[in-house]
Amino acid sequence: MSDPTTPLMQQYQTIKSLYPHALLLFRLGDFYELFYEDAILASRELQITLTSRIAKGPAHPNVRRALSLRGRLHRTPHSFGLQSRHLRPDGAAGPGKKLVRREVVRVITPGTATDGALLEAKENSFLASVFQIRPQA
């Protein structure tokens, strides 16, 4: 990853450092975007087009409806962090604000389908658990 050149990319890298294991879906307006290595891997796994805003900028796929891709995200071997921005109660970013606060609101991990939208009606969904009792000394 290159050095961040804008406050937005600094914010991205700060959040990404908290979730290094997950591909970070970073919310920008109505879109979710991925950057750098996350973008390259996600474009291959989800079979979405990889684009770039500027010639030397970070590659990123536009994921317009990330939540509609939940089933596909769930079936990849990767974890995805869904990041959201904090808005005022009226739904708008504050006046004059150039950068809104963002944080990861959900991490989608492989094999942990707990949302009914992720489960197929005609497909088995198995769950296993292991509990180890430690002998008392």
When divided into structural domains, the chain yields a total of 1
**C-alpha pair distances (Å), 123 with each of 110, 118, 119:** 16, 11, 7
> Each residue's pLDDT tens digit in the chain (137 positions)?
556 678 888 988 999 999 998 888 888 877 788 888 888 888 888 888 887 765 455 656 555 555 566 667 777 788 878 777 665 554 455 565 677 888 888 887 776 666 676 667 787 777 788 998 988 87
| 81 in a structural domain | yes
Q: Classify residue 130: in a domain, yes or no.
A: no
Residue range(s) defining the domain that contains residue 61: 7-118
What is the domain-level CATH number for residue 42?
A: 3.40.1170.10
CA 101 and chain centroid, separation: 16
Is the separation of the CB atoms in 47 and 61 below 8 Å?
A: no
What local confidence, expressed as pLDDT, does residue 53 receive? 63
131 found inside a domain: no
Task: Yes or no: say if 15 and 103 are a contact pair by the CB < 8 Å rule.
Answer: yes
Within a domain: 56: yes
Confidence (pTM): 0.66
Cβ atoms 11, 102 nearer than 8 A: yes
